């Protein structure tokens, strides 16, 4: 799932200058960050549930990218922070001795409160892959709206627990077009480097990559892209490459090379638990309540805000309803979580002064998936690293960037698999439905046609050149496109519209949005580096001016 520019464009394209520029920004960032805690230190945030009646200076809703940046920077400024996370702490092994389930063997740990799995890749050879599982507060939420299923991570670490780790800095001109009110010069000189350093972003050793069995699928992807004249782009990741080399050598337990990704990685991936949250824990000023869900935020009589929280068990049942107060509240529940909360709080009169931009500007980052059937003499390998390293760039000519994605099934599939990020003009809106008490999203499934057309600018050409065809067995029987989902929800409380230019919500002082909701629907690349960098920019201003 990813995009463009950073490091190199592989062998066949792109300039050395660009490679150096990208790498330099990552290395330079370490110096800028100026802290001695290693990026992947393992200090865990203690799960210390907040008692009802407590008061905290700063409360952060959600523990994904935006929330983790906010918690770390507030704590480093001397402010005590409490984080509230609806998902589990993910610090206890299951009966198999592992914390997370394998991609090919989903179990009770894999899905958020579902009795049947809803795997993004639902079929193989046309046969359905989904199976019954015990309902549990598992790690991956496949949240259904009328026109789209939105996949999200649940637990301390948010999306960093389940994502592919592709850590992409967009091209500066694309960023400037998406968020024109943000000073791009400052983002690229200070906040993107700071985010890349904080996340532990690095690039794969390309010499190793050239001969590693687990990246045969990516080399096949490169060959096909280049034979059709498309630039092939290497993309950084947060995976620990030295660990992956040891996996390949058989020296350590396998994680990426055992296909682990969407249901969690037991080793190797630098999720937020190992980076920002570990550093936040090390300050001694940050605590977290896991399995606690924020249900309401309202102005408190004596100033600050009253926050209502349901403590749940692993079946999703409410164990206790708590009320706490906070001087300042940061909405970092992800694009869907924050948008749903704010839309409901405005509509039900809990926060009536929020403006009419709440719930607007939501998009799917143009996500669409597909597979191609290769010839028998062009195998992609039965061992596939679950961490993608590259993509095909046709953004300028066709509005698509296709991640060369793994299909870690453990068998030879002769398939090439791709997640494309595309330019899409479509934006949906969240609305509160008083009849159901739920928040609906106005996404129309037909809107994905724009994304399919963009992806076809790449794959129609490759198929014609290679004499190959699309796989029709991965998303149903005789269905080519995975057009029912997104991994990249963005928007719903857009920067400069629902908030000021630094994420302060209009209508209330002391309420902030600091997650993917700020980005208006399309990031041009995989979003987590941009979410992190924007959070770094905004929190710096907020700490300086509001505390
Ligand atoms: P997020 O990380 O979603 O965190 C929000 C947190 O808030 C979650 O932990 C929620 O459980 C919690 N929460 C929600 N509501 C409440 C509530 N009411 N009370 C308490 N807690 C709540 O938000 N992006 C990339 O850049 N590269 C990739 O390779 C990539 N791969 C992906 C693969 C998959 C399968 C998925 C699902 C996503 C992927 N993404 C990737 C997207 C990326 O993970 C996502 O954009 C970020 O995680 C969003 O960050 P936020 O801080 O907005």
Walk me through the domains of the chain, giving residue ranges and CATH numbers. Answer: 16-546 (3.50.50.60)
pLDDT at 21: 27
**Ligand 1 residue neighbourhood (C-beta within 6 Å):** 1-2, 61-66, 84-87, 151-155, 158-159, 162-166, 262, 293-294, 332-335, 337, 341, 487-488, 515-516, 526-528, 531
pLDDT at 126: 81
Per-residue b or e along 9-25, where b marks 16 or more CB atoms closer than 10 Å to that residue's CB: bbeebbeeebbeebbeb
Ligand 1 centre from 278 Cα, in Å? 18
Classify burial at 187, counting beta carbons within 10 Å of its beta carbon; exposed 0-12, middle 13-18, buried 19 or more: buried
Q: Ligand 1 pocket check: which of 333, 342, 485, 539 to mutate, most ligand atoms within 8 Å of Cβ? A: 333
Ligand 1 centre from 226 Cα, in Å? 33
Q: Which protein residue's CA is at the shortest distance from atom 11 of ligand 1? A: 154
Q: Give the three-class secondary structure for 367.
A: coil
What distance in Å separates the CA atoms of residue 302 and residue 70, rounded to the nearest whole number? Answer: 25
pLDDT at 42: 57
Q: What angle do CA 32, 10, 482 make, to 5 degrees?
A: 95
pTM, rounded to two decimals: 0.93
pLDDT at 43: 65
Ligand 1 centre from 318 Cα, in Å? 23
pLDDT at 45: 86
pLDDT at 497: 98
pLDDT at 124: 87
Report, as residue numbers or ranges, the catalytic residues: 403, 488
Q: Give the three-class secondary structure for 470.
A: strand
Per-residue H/E/C for 128-178 = ECCCECCCCECCEEEEECCCCEEEEECCCCHHHHCCCCECCCCCHHHHHHH
What distance in Å separates the CA atoms of residue 511 and residue 454, rounded to the nearest whole number? Answer: 38
pLDDT at 169: 95
> DSSP character for 498?
T
Q: Ligand 1 pocket check: which of 87, 163, 322, 339 to mutate, most ligand atoms within 8 Å of Cβ? A: 163
Q: What is the mean pLDDT of each run of 10 residues along the chain (547 residues)?
A: 29 29 31 36 77 97 98 98 98 96 96 97 89 98 97 98 97 95 98 98 98 98 98 97 98 98 98 98 97 98 96 98 98 99 98 98 98 96 97 94 94 96 98 97 98 98 98 92 98 98 98 98 96 99 98
């Amino acid at each position: 799932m990813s995009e463009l520019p950073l490091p190199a464009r592989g062998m066949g394209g792109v300039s050395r200058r660009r490679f150096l520029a990208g790498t330099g920004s990552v290395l330079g960032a370490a110096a800028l960050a100026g802290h001695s805690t290693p990026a992947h230190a393992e200090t865990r945030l203690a799960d210390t549930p907040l008692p009802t009646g407590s008061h905290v200076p700063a409360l952060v809703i959600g523990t994904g990218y935006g929330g983790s940046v906010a918690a770390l920077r507030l704590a480093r400024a001397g402010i005590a922070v409490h984080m509230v996370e609806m998902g589990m702490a993910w610090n206890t092994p299951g009966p198999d001795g592992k914390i997370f389930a394998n991609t090919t063997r989903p179990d009770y740990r894999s899905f958020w409160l579902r009795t049947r799995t809803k795997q993004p890749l639902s079929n193989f050879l046309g046969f359905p892959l989904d199976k019954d599982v015990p309902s549990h507060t598992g790690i991956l939420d496949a949240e259904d709206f009328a026109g789209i299923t939105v996949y999200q991570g649940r637990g301390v670490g948010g999306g960093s627990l389940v994502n592919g780790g592709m850590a992409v800095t967009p091209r500066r001109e694309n960023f400037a077009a998406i968020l024109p009110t943000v000073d791009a010069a400052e983002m690229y000189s200070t906040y993107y480097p700071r985010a890349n350093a904080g996340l532990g972003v690095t690039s794969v050793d390309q010499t190793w990559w050239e001969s590693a069995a687990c990246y045969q699928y990516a080399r096949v992807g490169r060959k096909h892209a280049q034979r059709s004249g498309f630039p092939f782009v290497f993309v950084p990741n947060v995976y620990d490459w030295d660990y992956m080399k040891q996996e390949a050598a058989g020296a350590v337990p396998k994680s990426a090379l055992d296909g682990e990704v969407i249901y969690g990685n037991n080793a190797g991936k630098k999720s937020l638990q190992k980076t920002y949250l570990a550093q936040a824990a090390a300050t001694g000023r940050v605590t977290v309540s896991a399995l606690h869900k924020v249900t309401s935020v309202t102005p408190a009589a004596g100033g600050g805000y009253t926050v209502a929280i349901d403590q749940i068990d692993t079946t999703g049942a409410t164990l206790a309803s708590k009320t706490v107060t906070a001087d300042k509240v940061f909405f970092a529940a992800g694009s869907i979580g924050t948008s749903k909360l704010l839309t409901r709080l405005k509509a039900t009169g809990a926060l009536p002064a929020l403006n009419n931009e709440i719930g607007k500007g939501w998009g799917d980052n143009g996500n669409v998936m597909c597979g191609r059937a290769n010839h028998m003499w062009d195998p992609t390998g039965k061992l596939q690293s679950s961490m993608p390293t590259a993509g095909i760039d046709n953004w300028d000519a066709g509005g698509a960037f296709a991640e060369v994605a793994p299909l870690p099934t453990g068998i030879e599939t002769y398939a090439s698999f791709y997640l494309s990020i595309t330019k899409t003009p479509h934006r949906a809106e969240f609305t509160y439905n008083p009849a159901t008490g739920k928040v609906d999203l106005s996404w129309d499934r037909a809107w994905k046609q724009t994304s399919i057309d963009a992806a076809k600018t790449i794959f129609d050409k490759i198929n014609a050149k290679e004499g190959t065809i699309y796989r029709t067995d991965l998303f149903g029987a005789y269905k080519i496109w995975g057009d029912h989902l997104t991994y990249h929800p963005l928007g719903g409380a857009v920067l400069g519209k629902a908030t000021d230019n630094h994420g302060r919500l209009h209508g209330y002082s002391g309420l902030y949005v600091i997650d993917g909701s700020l980005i208006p629907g399309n990031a041009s690349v995989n979003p987590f580096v941009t979410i992190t960098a924007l959070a770094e920019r905004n929190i710096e201003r907020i700490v300086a001016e509001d505390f």
